[in-house]
Amino acid sequence: MNDRFLRACRREPVDRTPVWIMRQAGRYLPEYRDIRSRVGFLTLCRTPELAAEVTLQPLRRFALDAAILFADIMTPLDAFDIAMTFDPGPKIATPIRTREAVDRLHARPAAEAVPYVAETLRRLRRELDGRTPLIGFCGAPFTIAAYLVQGEGKDGFGALKRLLFEQPATVQVLLEKLSEAMADYVRMQIDAGAQAIQIFDSWAGILDPSDYRRYAMPAVAHIIDAVKERGVPAIYFLNGAPHLLELGASTCPDVLGVCWRTPLDDVARRVGPRIALQGNLDPHVLFGTPKMIRERVADVLQRVEGRPGHVMNLGHGILPETPIASVEALIDAVHDCSRVPATRTS
């Protein structure tokens, strides 16, 4: 049983640094593109047999230390019956921009609205059979709200920032509803077999520290508490937010997921020793030579050497054009550069 990922989340000793890759199932894999040429993205997410299959695809190729559920951060919005398509990112048919629209949102229980996610996790736990730990995930309320209010992905998410000042109470209620729904969703995932939960906050970085503290932080802290109450590690990935790392750490996740912008030794100094760190190789490094990849991996590892609790990962999702050989080089480099003598782990 490979538990070095779960051990690192808890800052326990490990034989070598565990590694997984954000978006490890996806378009850079020909076998994923093959399935996607036959079924749409939403069908893929909603069909447990297929979702479990694409979750396992990267594990067949690479010696990864964790599997991550295949779904999307927008998947649990089926609980609110919000009409949505993917092209390739989420598109909301009717963006939510008024108090009336927010008041109309009523979440059904996740177990009723998205039973296929629980079924995918149960299937995966059976197939993984203890060999590799399974990560569940959700989006942070602020990041989900950014898509719901804007209607689609857009740098800066001006529509949500504008609403935040025009109608702060409307945004507050929206974030509370999303926070409750995500807490229910992650509880369902844990009950179905998820052994850790990662919360993706891709867009909190558009806020300044005081607005982050007022709006985004309480909504995400509630989900982290729900995960920890169930006794599994919570990973909080804060993208593009070097100015929010201390506040993010103060929500007390077991692991802080760090984007590629801030060197991990800086982060370690700023957040103290009582939290594990995950990351944070720039995904673009994987367009370099194997030698460059190895040097950059060694650099990341060296910045947290001797500090308990590091999970190696990219500093954001892997890009669709990434060469497969680069992923192999990354994994090999982590294996070669992070092994510690057995005596030190016993």
- From 151, 153, 242, 290, residue interacting with ligand CP3 (rule: CB under 6 A): 153
The answer to whether 244 and 212 are in contact (CB under 8 A) is: yes
Q: Please choose, out of 77-85, 87-95, 206-214, 336-344, the segment that lies near ligand CP3 by the rule CB under 6 A.
A: 87-95
Q: Which residues are catalytic?
A: 23, 27, 36, 72, 147
Q: Please choose, out of 66-74, 106-114, 272-280, 291-299, the segment that lies near ligand CP3 by the rule CB under 6 A.
A: 66-74
- From 17, 170, 239, 262, residue interacting with ligand CP3 (rule: CB under 6 A): 239
* Binding of residue 240 to ligand CP3 (CB under 6 A): no
* Binding of residue 86 to ligand CP3 (CB under 6 A): yes
For residue 200, the 8-state DSSP code is: E
CB of 201 to ligand CP3, least distance (A): 8
Residue for token pair 């779960």:
6
Q: Which two tokens stand for residue 217?
A: 């932080």
The pairs formed by 122-126 with CB atoms below 8 angstroms and a separation of 24 or more are: 122/192, 122/193, 123/48, 123/49, 123/52, 124/52, 124/55, 124/56, 124/67, 124/69, 124/193, 125/192, 125/193
CB of 179 to ligand CP3, least distance (A): 17
Q: Would you give the distance in Å from CA 328 to the centre of its chain? A: 21
Which C-beta is closer to ligand CP3: that of 86 or that of 340? Answer: 86
The answer to whether 86 and 39 are in contact (CB under 8 A) is: no
* Binding of residue 73 to ligand CP3 (CB under 6 A): yes
* Binding of residue 200 to ligand CP3 (CB under 6 A): yes
* Binding of residue 26 to ligand CP3 (CB under 6 A): yes
CA–CA separation, 231 vs 275, rounded Å?
16
Q: Please choose, out of 24-32, 105-113, 158-166, 273-281, the segment that lies near ligand CP3 by the rule CB under 6 A.
A: 24-32
Residue spans of beta strands (DSSP E) within the chain = 67-68, 84-86, 90-92, 134-139, 196-201, 234-238, 255-258, 276-278, 310-311
* Binding of residue 27 to ligand CP3 (CB under 6 A): yes
Q: 3-state DSSP call for residue 36?
A: helix
Q: Please choose, out of 81-89, 94-102, 181-189, 334-342, the segment that lies near ligand CP3 by the rule CB under 6 A.
A: 81-89
- From 18, 76, 90, 233, residue interacting with ligand CP3 (rule: CB under 6 A): 90
CB of 41 to ligand CP3, least distance (A): 5
The answer to whether 141 and 216 are in contact (CB under 8 A) is: yes
CA–CA separation, 329 vs 342, rounded Å?
24
* Binding of residue 170 to ligand CP3 (CB under 6 A): no
Residue 14: phi and psi, rounded to 5, are -135, 155
* Binding of residue 23 to ligand CP3 (CB under 6 A): yes
Residue by residue, DSSP assigns 243-276 as: GGHHHHHTT--SEEEE-TTS-HHHHHHHH-SSSE
Letters for 277-316 (x = contact with ligand CP3 by CB under 6 A, - = none) are: ----------------------------------------
* Binding of residue 116 to ligand CP3 (CB under 6 A): no
Q: Would you give the distance in Å from CA 133 to the centre of its chain? A: 15
- From 51, 52, 59, 72, residue interacting with ligand CP3 (rule: CB under 6 A): 72
CA–CA separation, 16 vs 31, rounded Å?
29
Of 8, 34, 21, which is closest to residue 237 (Cα–Cα)?
21
- From 2, 41, 42, 292, residue interacting with ligand CP3 (rule: CB under 6 A): 41
* Binding of residue 36 to ligand CP3 (CB under 6 A): yes
Give the residues across from 57 on adjacent strands: none
* Binding of residue 59 to ligand CP3 (CB under 6 A): no
- From 5, 28, 62, 70, residue interacting with ligand CP3 (rule: CB under 6 A): 70
Residues in contact with ligand CP3 by CB under 6 A are: 22-27, 36, 41, 68, 70, 72-73, 86, 88-90, 137, 153, 200, 202, 239, 317
